[in-house]
Amino acid sequence: MSTADTANTANTAAAAGTWKLGDLEVNRIGYGTMRLTGNGMMGNSDGAPIDRDAAVRLLLDAFEQGVDHVDTAAFYFSPLRSANELLNRALASWREDVVVVTKVGPGRDPSGEWLTMARPDQLRGQVEENLRQLGRDHLDVVNLRRNGPGTDSIAEHFGALAELRAAGLVRHLGLSNVRPEHVAEARTVAPVVCVQNSYGVDRRRADGTGLVDLCRELGIAFVPYFAVAGLRSEAGAAREQDARVLAVARVHDATPAQVRLAWTLHRGPHVLAIPGTRDRAHLAENIAAGALRLTGADLALLDGPGGADG
């Protein structure tokens, strides 16, 4: 690779390297669509929704900067915006170049009220709703989102998705909000290409359960959500950033969000990132985090005791 190519790559999502979701190779830096519909959880927000054209432009900016996988869901909507429909518009000229990862299991009625976890026989309807909204004949990756502690066995639900995969409606399957035993159970039914769980500098439960290492051993992508937000989840990182994160950020002339993203990517080549934002400058910063190389001293400081949830 020439010096010019290296410089160009450093400014795109390609800087973090690639991983395969089944047979679909993607750059490790992706984009999460949840915040396109509002600032609150799953789009429930009193704030003004992002302008449609601005949202589509933001997605196009992401694609032009090398983002080639996007996380979404049919239940990411607010009264005036649907993440899938915005994504559908943006994909018009990029449809063959961007891998779309969606999720099923939970649901919301048209008013936005949450419904109980879908029954296995209802998952086909959720998959078809994603297909309609995205304007596709098949879905690249569908994650079964486990909804709460009461969902102990996922075999029947995952089996229903495996049938849709066999029917050609879904290309690959993944899991979300799961424990290691769920991964083992699902793999007896069908291949698992990714696991999406809450994870970051301040929330390391997936380390304590061994899930991050298990995914590495099995060749499964581990995809953290809320990696930038710290313990405040979808609301964004707290104003008083962890002192360790700030210290590393100062050394590298980076933002705390970039350090948090870089930390997750350093957990292994199988770890992807799906930061979401409604701001073009933040989008560029998130993508640039893929080129941030933390030192052993940085990682030792960030991995030190205190601040993690176990």
- 158-173 pLDDT, tens digit each: 999 999 999 999 999 9
Average pLDDT, the chain: 89
Residue 46 has pLDDT above 50, yes or no: no
Question: When comparing pLDDT for 136 and 2, which is higher?
Answer: 136
What was the pLDDT predicted at 111?
Answer: 87
What was the pLDDT predicted at 242?
Answer: 80
72-117 pLDDT, tens digit each: 999 999 988 999 999 999 999 998 999 999 999 999 998 888 888 9
The mean pLDDT value for 281-286 works out to 97
Residue 238 has pLDDT above 50, yes or no: no
Question: When comparing pLDDT for 152 and 310, which is higher?
Answer: 152
7-17 pLDDT, tens digit each: 455 679 999 99
Tokens representing 170 are: 């879904």
Q: Answer yes or no: 31 catalytic.
A: no
Three-class SS of 85-140? HHHHHHHHHCCCCCEEEEEECCEECCCCCEECCCCHHHHHHHHHHHHHHHCCCCEE
Tokens representing 246 are: 């700030």
- Asked if 274 and 37 count as a contact pair (C-beta separation under 8 A), the reply is no
What was the pLDDT predicted at 47?
Answer: 57
What was the pLDDT predicted at 202?
Answer: 87
307 vs 290: CA distance, rounded Å: 24
What was the pLDDT predicted at 236?
Answer: 46
What was the pLDDT predicted at 185?
Answer: 98
225 vs 223: CA distance, rounded Å: 7
What are the extents of the domains in the chain?
A: 26-302
Query: Which fold is adopted by the domain 26-302?
Result: TIM Barrel (3.20.20)
Tokens representing 209 are: 């359960």
The mean pLDDT value for 225-249 works out to 69
The mean pLDDT value for 243-261 works out to 95
268 vs 302: CA distance, rounded Å: 15
